[in-house]
Structure 1
Amino acid sequence: MRPVGEVREALLAAAVALATDEQAPTVRELAQKARVGQLAARRTIDNLRRAGLLHIPRMRKVDYRNCPVAEYACSKMATLKPADGWAAWRGVSICTPRAEAE
């Protein structure tokens, strides 16, 4: 298996750094924080969504577009590590993030 690319690592780190409870970063904000081009960011973010590491929690109106843009947040799976154990991995799906059972 190939190692994780630099762009992918930079975008995931940017998503974690820029996320707040009220707002998540857009593609443009992620690209600026990660210091990568917007085309590379957009394609990598599509791959991260397909892999289940990022998801779109909501849409946001911005001044540079007429229609709302997507905000991207790390799913729970992106923050898990193998050392966390099976209990932490049980509620996580590879395809889509799931809400925790109560």
Structure 2
Amino acid sequence: MPTTVQGTIESTDRWHFIAKFPIDATNTYSFTGSFEAVVPNLTCRQAIVIYEDLTALTTTATAPTKFTGRVGPFDVQLNLENGPIIKGVLNASVLSRNLWGTGTWSQY
């Protein structure tokens, strides 16, 4: 059965974002991504990640995780090639567009 964890998504600029998810009391996983095209700045304080196995929230140093998805006008969804889905309701509306790019998972 899939696991769902609440978190946030925030642009760091129009090409990059970071999604953070506190998996348990001591571990937070973050997905730092790069869009292949300019995307409006976005903030999502009500994001979730859905995954089948915690090992899906890892990335090897030599192989970033590819994603596709869509943003706007009121929500965002990123479908990671290895299974997890990151999605949520935007704090402010943006123009709709398709998304694609790569990212890496880290744990702290």
Superposed pair shares fold, TM > 0.5: no
Normalising by the smaller structure, the TM-score range is under 0.3
Q: Which has the higher contact order (CA 8 A, sep 6+)?
A: 2
TM-score by length of 2: 0.26
| TM-score of the aligned structures, taking structure 1 as reference length | 0.27
Q: Which has the larger radius of gyration?
A: 1
